[in-house]
Chains A and B, each alone.
Chain A
Amino acid sequence: MARGAAEILDQYSDASLAGISQLDFRRLIETTADGVLVVDLSGTVLYANPAGAAIFGYPAADLVHIPLGRPVISGETTEITVHRPNRAPAEVEMRTVELSWDGRPALLASVRDVSAQRAQQERRRQSQKLEAVGRLAAGIVHDINNLLAVFESGLRLLQKQLRDDPANPNTAILIEELLKRTQNGGALTQQLLAFSRGQSLYPETIDLNGRIEAVTMLLERTLGNGIRISLELDPALGPVLVDANQLDVAILNLAVNAKDAMAGRGTLAIETSDTPDDIEDVAALAASFVRVTVSDTGCGMSKEVLAQVFEPFFTTKADGRGTGLGLSQVYGFIKQSGGHVRIESAVGEGTSVHLFLPRAPSTGNHEPQMQGEIRLNTRR
């Protein structure tokens, strides 16, 4: 040992170390908190200091002559897991350099137990996730409230229709629509569950125009008599690849925002286009997307407000009226779908929210195939 240390000393010939005895060097190595292992080129341990031996869970004398294996030499610290008898494995950082030991080439591995730091990092990640789950739960409360408003008006309409004209075919359509909305509610709670488990969303190929028409039927009742809904749906619109329930929730969130901005009076326009304008001025980008725009004739937003609208919890609504999570859901949905979102607004001139949704890949009879692939890639 002492000879080995002396050789290291010779290599560097630092004048300030010249007066230090070999015994002092030996003490230095024996008492340092970091593990020090010397291993020959075939991987047999030649020396281990007490800290190094403790990391491996053996007395130093037992570790010597063990064919541990040759530590990989690299310029950087590498991470290994050390398996000790009757103890939990240790996460260990290792750095290896070449040296001469007892006149022969050997390797010096410095090892440091970083298990405690790793465990702390893991706890921090977990708490960040719980925080996000809490945020999402608050968002779901907001969405469930929107859904309840839809149900309330749907049921009132149903009540009126049953009283006036029970045989009206619209009654059955309305019941069917309300049943579909229950799936939205189920999807919302699934969303929270999926997020807390770290699952991805489930995109599928859908007919955007059809979906918008279905949501609009209920919106008409939710938004009140003072708000007119204008639909301009592009008949040439191609299918999109998004999570259908998330899309419904996004449209619902945008419509509720529009309603609040218009204070009960104005026009909500939903428009789709198969040939959207350039996205962020990139023409090529637009080719892989379709556009849906939700516009209102409401109060609009100032630049300052516009800069913050996608932030979770940002709201201009009075206490108890909004959670500030509606647009952050829209943003999250769009980003997760691989799409883009753009908002145009000016005070007094209304707001237009453009959603650019990814087209479904166009292969013949692609639908069942697509879904199979997506399940594999995104679920679990």
Chain B
Amino acid sequence: MSVSDRSNPGANGLLRLYVAGDGPGARRALESRLRIVEELAGGIEIQVVDVLAHPEEAERAGILATPTLSDESTTPPRRLIGDISNITQVLDYFGYRKKDSGYDHS
């Protein structure tokens, strides 16, 4: 997978996960979120936004589909839509390194 590299991967450490309600898709995404946070051992914060509870936030951010994992520190925001259970793919896309993995994606 090719991604544009970051000069300082994970510098911001803040992502947003947009989900809709508490259906199976949302639950899976929330489980993946926990695994990602665990994987990076505190090097990342992922805020959860329920677009059904806060439609205005989703509209402001221009979220068309859920689950969406979004890094809003970049313009345009860097976003991943769909199943985020493949953590390696997710971390790779957002330019984070796995903790102690020695894995260099750049």
Contact = CB atoms under 8 A, between A and B. Distances in A.
A71 B82 contact: yes
B86 A74 contact: yes
A68 B80 CA distance: 9
B32 to A, nearest CB: 11
Contacts of B83: 72, 74, 78-79
Given A41-B2, A68-B65, A78 B82 contact: yes
Interface stretch (A88-96, A136-144, A257-265): A88-96
Given A70-B93, A74-B86, A42 B4 contact: yes
A74 B32 CA distance: 15
Contact of B58 (A56, A78, A83, A105): A83
Interface in A281-337: none
A43 interface: yes
A364 B25 CA distance: 42
A175 interface: no
A209 B25 CA distance: 47
A61 to B, nearest CB: 15
Given A81-B25, A81-B65, A92-B65, A67 B77 contact: yes
B67 A80 contact: yes
A23 interface: no
A72 B65 contact: no
Interface string B65-90: 11110100000111111111010010
B20 to A, nearest CB: 5
A44 to B, nearest CB: 7
Contacts, number: 80
B36 to A, nearest CB: 13
Contacts of A82: 64-65
Nearest to A95: B82
B91 interface: no
Contact of B80 (A70, A89, A94): A70
A56 B81 CA distance: 14
A219 B62 CA distance: 69
A286 B2 CA distance: 57
A68 B66 contact: no
Give the size range of A's interface with the partner: 20 to 34
A66 interface: yes
Interface in B4-31: 4, 20, 23, 25
B76 A80 contact: no
Which of A43, A74, A105 is packed against the most chain B CB atoms within 10 Å? A43
Interface residues of B, number: 30
A44 B62 CA distance: 12
B63 interface: yes
A372 interface: no
A309 B8 CA distance: 69
Contact of A67 (B25, B65, B79): B79
Given A78-B83, A83-B20, A89-B20, A42 B64 contact: no
A73 interface: yes
B3 interface: yes
A69 interface: yes
B101 to A, nearest CB: 20
A267 B46 CA distance: 67
11 contacts: A41-B3, A67-B77, A68-B79, A69-B65, A70-B78, A71-B81, A72-B80, A74-B82, A74-B83, A80-B25, A81-B23
Task: Pick the 3 closest A-B CB pairs, nearest first.
Answer: A69-B79, A72-B82, A67-B76
Interface of B: 1-4, 20, 23, 25, 51, 55, 58, 62-68, 70, 76-84, 86, 89, 93
Given A69-B70, A81-B66, 12 more contacts: A67-B79, A69-B79, A70-B79, A72-B80, A72-B81, A72-B84, A79-B83, A80-B66, A81-B65, A83-B20, A94-B81, A105-B2
